[in-house]
């Protein structure tokens, strides 16, 4: 098994004297798509921020592979709508990049024709794709996405996640994302990490959906998700985590 790109070891985070995350052990390995799920306020964004080094651990540590290139899409990005700025200009901040690099990143994000459009005129889905393009500029080995499909309708979210899977195959990068779209998560992830201040459960989508800790948080209304998961993952992936196609999760 290859070495982890990023690992949390006994990670604890305190903010304003409150314990937000406790004793989180977690690893992400090359090429994996891992999704973090959990209720509002459970510490998902905080975990991502800790992994990129934007929030300091109060206990334990985060380990990153030496020289690791990270692409990060934050949960919120407010852009002043009164400020005229083209997509191309946005992608060349904070440092200038070539028109070719901009075109290549937009192409990878699945929106090849947006370079000259104004940021304020983009639809929600286009905006998310531009944020993805920005995260792809440095050819990341790990892509961290914090609720990348918020505000998108279900076809829009599904298309976004399909694009992520394609990016993963094209670039070979690992992907860690936070999502509330449980149905899509189940279809698009190799592994799911369910947190609520601590790691509740972790594993393949089927295993997590069947875990009592997950059901306590989300109920058992995941049958449709599992059907989708089975449907879309009927082909083989080369992963170190075997897919368990048993039916206990439906019990």
Ligand X SMILES: Nc1ncnc2c1ncn2[C@@H]1O[C@H](COP(=O)(O)OP(=O)(O)OP(=O)(O)O)[C@@H](O)[C@H]1O
C-beta closer to ligand X: residue 43 or 140:
43
C-beta closer to ligand X: residue 15 or 52:
15
Give the DSSP letter of residue 236: -
Nearest approach, Cβ of 115 to ligand X (angstroms)? 31
CB atoms within 10 A of CB 111: 22
Nearest approach, Cβ of 122 to ligand X (angstroms)? 22
- Coil/strand/helix, residue 118: strand
| Site string (61-100) toward ligand X, x via CB under 6 A | ----------------------------------------
Q: How far apart are CA 238 and CA 197, in angstroms?
A: 32
Nearest approach, Cβ of 196 to ligand X (angstroms)? 9
Cis peptide bond N-terminal to 9, omega within 30: no
C-beta closer to ligand X: residue 11 or 102:
11
Nearest approach, Cβ of 192 to ligand X (angstroms)? 14
CB atoms within 10 A of CB 48: 23
C-beta closer to ligand X: residue 38 or 148:
38
C-beta closer to ligand X: residue 41 or 84:
41
Indicate the burial class of 73 (C-beta count within 10 angstroms; 0-12, 13-18, 19 or more).
Answer: buried
Q: Which of residues 117-176 bind ligand X (CB under 6 A)?
A: none
C-beta closer to ligand X: residue 20 or 132:
20
Nearest approach, Cβ of 60 to ligand X (angstroms)? 17
Nearest approach, Cβ of 19 to ligand X (angstroms)? 10
Q: Which of residues 2-61 bind ligand X (CB under 6 A)?
A: 15-16, 20, 38, 40-46
Size of the site for ligand X (CB under 6 A): 11
Indicate the burial class of 23 (C-beta count within 10 angstroms; 0-12, 13-18, 19 or more).
Answer: middle
- End-to-end CA distance of the chain: give it in Å, rounded: 32
Q: How far apart are CA 101 and CA 103, in angstroms?
A: 5
DSSP E strand boundaries for 45-163: 59-64, 70-73, 142-146
Residues contributing to the site for ligand X (CB under 6 A): 15-16, 20, 38, 40-46
């Amino acid at each position: 098994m290859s070495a982890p790109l990023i690992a949390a070891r006994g990670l604890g985070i305190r903010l304003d004297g409150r314990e937000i995350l406790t004793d989180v052990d977690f690893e992400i390995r090359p090429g994996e798509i891992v999704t973090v799920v959990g209720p509002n306020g459970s510490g998902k964004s905080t975990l991502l921020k800790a992994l990129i080094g934007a929030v300091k651990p109060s206990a334990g540590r985060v380990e990153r592979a030496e020289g690791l290139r990270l692409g990060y899409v934050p949960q919120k990005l407010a852009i002043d709508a009164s400020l005229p700025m083209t997509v191309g200009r946005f992608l060349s901040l904070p440092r200038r990049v070539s028109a070719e690099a901009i075109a290549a990143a937009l192409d990878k994000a699945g929106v090849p024709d947006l370079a000259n459009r104004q940021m304020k005129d983009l639809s929600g889905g286009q905006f998310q794709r531009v944020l993805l393009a920005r995260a792809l500029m440095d050819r990341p080995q790990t892509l961290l996405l914090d609720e990348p499909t918020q505000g998108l309708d279900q076809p829009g979210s599904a298309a976004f996640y399909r694009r992520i899977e394609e990016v993963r195959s094209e670039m070979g990068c690992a992907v860690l994302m936070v999502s509330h779209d449980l149905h899509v998560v189940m279809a698009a992830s190799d592994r799911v990490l369910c947190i609520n201040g601590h790691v509740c459960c972790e594993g393949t989508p089927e295993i997590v959906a069947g875990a009592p800790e997950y059901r306590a948080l989300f109920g058992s209304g995941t049958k449709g998700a599992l059907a989708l998961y089975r449907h879309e993952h009927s082909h083989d992936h080369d992963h170190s985590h075997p897919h368990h196609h048993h039916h206990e999760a439906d019990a």
